[in-house]
Amino acid sequence: MNTLSYKTISANDATVDKNWVVVDAQSQILGRFASEVAKMLRGKHKPNFTPHVDCGDNVIVINAEKIRLTGKKWNEKVYVRHTGYPGGQRIATPKILMEKAPRTLVEKAVKGMLPKNRLGRKMYTNLYVYAGSEHPHSAQQPKEVKL
Per-residue pLDDT of the chain (147 residues; tens, 9 = 90+): 566 677 788 889 899 999 999 999 999 999 999 999 999 999 999 999 999 999 999 999 999 999 999 999 999 999 999 999 999 999 999 999 999 999 999 999 999 999 999 999 999 999 999 999 999 999 999 999 998
Q: Residue 125: inside a domain, yes or no? A: yes
- Full residue range of the structural domain in which residue 63 is found: 20-69+101-144
Q: Residue 40: inside a domain, yes or no? A: yes
Q: What DSSP assignment string belongs to 57-77?
A: -EEEEE-GGG-B--TTHHHH-
Q: Residue 132: inside a domain, yes or no? A: yes
129, 64 Cβ separation under 8 angstroms: yes
What integer pLDDT is reported at residue 10 of this predicted model?
86
Give how many domains the chain has, as a whole number. 1
What integer pLDDT is reported at residue 1 of this predicted model?
56
Q: Residue 113: inside a domain, yes or no? A: yes
What integer pLDDT is reported at residue 139 of this predicted model?
96
41-60: b or e for each residue (b if 16 or more CB lie within 10 Å)?
bbbeebeebbeebbbbbbbb
48, 117 Cβ separation under 8 angstroms: no
CATH number at residue 126: 3.90.1180.10
Q: Residue 109: inside a domain, yes or no? A: yes
What integer pLDDT is reported at residue 9 of this predicted model?
80
Q: Residue 53: inside a domain, yes or no? A: yes
- The answer for residues whose C-beta is within 8 angstroms of residue 134's C-beta and 6 or more apart is 62
Q: Residue 7: inside a domain, yes or no? A: no
Q: Residue 123: inside a domain, yes or no? A: yes
